[in-house]
Amino acid sequence: MPASTKLSVRDVVTVKLPAASAYLSVLRTATAGLAARLDFTLDEIEDLRIAVDEACAMLLAQAVPGTDLACEFELTGEAMRISVSVLTVDGVEPSRDTFAWTVLSSLAGEVDARVGSDDRVIVTLQKRRGAGGSQ
């Protein structure tokens, strides 16, 4: 296919696991492997691993016991967007005025949170390859 008519393919990986800290190592490993596919530097990969861990810790603190944590990784040529979500007991977004949010923002670059249906809270991170923590 000529470059001008080449279709872009959405490269997405979804992981669903129990909402318990014992399973976070699975997400850290998946994050590192997928970031390596995009040729992120070792420092960028480590930043993403820590950011995913921090986002999950925020969400697990308010997760409904016995539910699943869902994580979607969307890979583009130069960036990775990661959305972590869980059904919560109160449907409240994480506070953006905390040290944890500041750390998350510095590690991931772009960070957002929102409440979806049924009190599901979603934290979304996006990091671009070669960009510093803040974008």
Give the model confidence (pLDDT) of 13-24 as tens digits: 999 999 999 999
CA 31 to mean position of chain CA atoms: 8
Q: Tokens standing for 106? A: 């510095």
Residue 109 lies in domain? 11-128
Q: What is the mean pLDDT of residues 36-53?
A: 94
Q: Name, of 4-8, 86-90, 96-100, the range with top average pLDDT.
A: 86-90
Sign of the CA dihedral 47, 49, 50, 52?
positive
- Give the tens place of pLDDT for each residue, 65-82: 999 999 999 998 889 999
Q: What is the CATH number of the domain that holds 21?
A: 3.30.565.10
How many domains does the chain contain in total?
1
CA 106/CA 58 separation, integer angstroms: 16
135 versus 120: which is more confidently predicted?
120
- Domain-embedded: residue 91: yes
- Domain-embedded: residue 4: no
Q: State which amino acid sits at residue 96.
A: R
Return the pLDDT at 44. Answer: 95
